[in-house]
Structure 1
Amino acid sequence: MSASLPRERRQAAYRLGHRAEWFALGVLMLRGYRPVARRVSLAGGEIDLIVRRGRTLVFVEVKARARLDEARTAIGAIKRQRFSRAVRAWVSRHPWSGELTLRADAVFVGGRGWPEHCPAAFEIEGL
């Protein structure tokens, strides 16, 4: 039974992340952003959401934790590097995006509160 515990935790974390991404997308749509893509995996990195508002294309990292302050500290240097690598790969495959302002945002989800949207949460490395 103990062998299944890590698998159960991974599945629970996957479900939590999936719900948090939908919740974050809903919040962003209420703020006028239009969805472009979800769960993009490229070049060894993942982009949770890609949204657009006007001439700004936003690559979003969603972090969900039991508490909001834990979510706020969950994006480390390695995650930012992988995220940036995936963004660069996505932009190279979508030349139209080069005409837009590109930004990396974060949405933090914790507890039962409203998600916290942080525009320009970090730089997209190498752009």
Structure 2
Amino acid sequence: MAKYLAFDVGSKTIGIAKSDGFYPSTLKTIRFEENNFYQACELVEAIIKEENPQKIVIGYPKNMDNSIGHRAQMVEDFVSLLIDNKIWTEDKIEWIDERLTTKMARSILVEANVSRKKQKKAKDNLAAILILETFLVKISK
């Protein structure tokens, strides 16, 4: 069975979800010094080695007009570090448009009456699940 990991990359955290090919679930959120993607890569490398996925799915936060902004460039830089440091290969990366996943995650958490403090912790993982869900729907067609 194929195994996938999804990453919702931020400037201080990465939400990570996993799936055996059917259902996505939360794995963890890693925290690192702001914009220290070398540190983030080290943390992600350990998870990739432990989980041994077939592919990793990266949330790609384009601007609403489809242009590449600061956040999308930040994600591209992070993925380049993964590839350049031979942590992962480009051919095993899937990019998923995630323009609205963080907003959707917040909305779901508000609807579920999750406190603001808990929302902050849960939104990265939920966004990663939504990214992975989008990928799973895409490959099932």
Instruction: Calculate the TM-score normalised by the size of structure 2.
Output: 0.36
Higher relative contact order at CA 8 Å, sep ≥6: structure 1 or structure 2? 2
Instruction: Calculate the TM-score normalised by the size of structure 1.
Output: 0.39
Larger proportion of helix: 2
